[in-house]
């Protein structure tokens, strides 16, 4: 799991914080579906409503693909949040676009993959957010099962969990992200989204998210 560019990572994080795509509530944690208590909630779909932020993200995802996967022949978005970002990127690169469902469509052709399936085509997968990587890697496997050659994946933001690193490494899938949790903390502190006390707690959450309970008063 690599960050495309450290300077861009800080800029992306700052923009996501500004538009509240990233929300920090260390004193009133969010509860994830896994049951984990979390000081952060990231909804990158909000960036689509802000043209300047949307374009900045799109342009840098395009650069990341051109740098790391220059032989790309098609773009695949992961449903649902990866679909609009993937379509924007495919349009910029003038490449075919398709997307991968989380489960087959319940009627009609019952497709798992929407778009033209071309066996052997070299595809890059687009995600908005990486947590453990489970659903993202399932999409990769679905594409491989359909006959695509998956070059790798790009994403806007990752929490940087060790389990995600291990999962992508085990699956032998190259992942390039624009920004991550560590890159988000300095602009969050500099712009007063958090203070020094909550910063320390946020660092602890990243080390052990399954046991973190919130900021001590």
- Three-class secondary structure of residue 29 per DSSP: coil
Is residue 194 included in any domain, yes or no?
Answer: yes
Q: What is the pLDDT of residue 7?
A: 97
CA atoms in the 13 A half-sphere facing the CB of 74: 21
Is residue 203 included in any domain, yes or no?
Answer: no
Answer for the pair 178, 155: CB distance below 8 angstroms, yes or no: yes
Q: Residue 115's domain is classified under what CATH number?
A: 3.40.50.2020
Q: Quick one: pLDDT band at residue 106, thresholds 50, 70, 90?
A: low
Answer for the pair 115, 73: CB distance below 8 angstroms, yes or no: no
Residue 13 DSSP symbol: H
Determine how β-strand 97-100 pairs with β-strand 113-114: antiparallel
Is residue 213 included in any domain, yes or no?
Answer: no
Answer for the pair 159, 131: CB distance below 8 angstroms, yes or no: yes
Is residue 118 included in any domain, yes or no?
Answer: yes
Which residue do the tokens 């009627």 mark?
107
Binding residues: 101, 105, 107, 127-135
Binding residues for orotate: 131
Is residue 45 included in any domain, yes or no?
Answer: no
> Domain containing 62: what range?
2-12+55-198
Is residue 61 included in any domain, yes or no?
Answer: yes
Binding residues for 5-phospho-alpha-D-ribose 1-diphosphate: 101, 105, 107, 127-135
Q: What is the pLDDT of residue 22?
A: 98
The pTM score is 0.94
Q: What is the pLDDT of residue 32?
A: 86
Is residue 153 included in any domain, yes or no?
Answer: yes
Is residue 34 included in any domain, yes or no?
Answer: no
- Domains of the chain: total: 1
Distances, alpha carbon 200 to alpha carbons 47, 56, 214, in Å: 28, 30, 11
Q: Quick one: pLDDT band at residue 105, thresholds 50, 70, 90?
A: low
Mean confidence (pLDDT) of the chain: 93
């Amino acid at each position: 799991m690599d960050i495309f560019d450290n300077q861009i990572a800080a800029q992306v994080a700052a923009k996501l914080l500004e538009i509240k795509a990233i929300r920090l509530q260390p004193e009133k944690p969010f509860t994830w579906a896994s049951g984990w208590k979390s000081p952060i909630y990231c909804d990158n779909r909000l960036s689509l409503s802000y043209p300047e932020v949307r374009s900045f993200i799109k342009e840098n995802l395009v650069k990341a693909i051109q740098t790391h996967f220059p032989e790309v022949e098609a773009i695949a978005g992961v449903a649902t949040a990866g679909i609009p970002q993937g379509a924007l990127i495919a349009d910029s690169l003038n490449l075919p676009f398709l997307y991968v469902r989380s489960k087959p469509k319940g009627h009609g052709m019952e497709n798992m993959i929407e778009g033209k399936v071309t066996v052997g085509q070299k595809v890059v997968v687009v995600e908005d957010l990486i947590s453990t990587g489970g659903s993202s890697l399932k999409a990769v496997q679905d594409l491989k099962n359909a006959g695509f050659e998956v070059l790798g994946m790009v994403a806007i933001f990752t929490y940087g969990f060790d389990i995600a690193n291990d999962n992508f490494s085990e699956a032998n899938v190259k992942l390039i992200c624009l920004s991550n949790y560590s890159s988000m903390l300095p602009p969050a502190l500099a712009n007063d989204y958090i203070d020094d006390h909550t910063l320390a707690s946020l660092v602890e959450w990243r080390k052990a998210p399954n046991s973190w309970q919130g900021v001590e008063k």
